[in-house]
Amino acid sequence: MARKVVWSAEAVADLEALADYIVKDSAFYAAAFIQEVLDTARTLNRFPQRGRTVPELDNPSIRELLVREYRIIYNVEEARIIILALVHGKRDLRKLWRRNKRR
């Protein structure tokens, strides 16, 4: 069963901030990388369990896929997938989660 992939407002803000950062050096690479992130997230509609469980969060329904050095963090629900965040792999996820009061 295919599930709908939905981006949270926080994840959209993460994506936009990343695009703004990359575009300072190259509009081409910004567009290409953002498209890669969107394409990867889109595949979750059919294969939501393909990502690994996020080790820091200890919640089996919150998983992640890696796109280069970024983590697409998402929540698997019965009827949909919610993209929760797009985070650089070197960021302290626990600290970020607490500070931003994410799920």
Average pLDDT over residues 15-39: 95
pLDDT band at 9 (very low <50, low <70, confident <90, very high): very high
**Angle ∠(30,11,16) on CA atoms, nearest 5:** 30
CATH code, domain with 65 = 3.30.2310.20
With a cut of 80, say whether residue 76 has pLDDT above it. Answer: yes
Residue 35 lies in domain: 4-100
With a cut of 90, say whether residue 31 has pLDDT above it. Answer: yes
Question: What is the tally of structural domains in the chain?
Answer: 1
For 46-60, what is each residue's pLDDT tens digit? 988 889 999 888 888
Q: How far is the CA of 17 from the CAs of 10, 38, 54, 69, 83, in angstroms?
A: 10, 14, 22, 15, 15
Note the pTM of the prediction, 2 decimals. 0.88
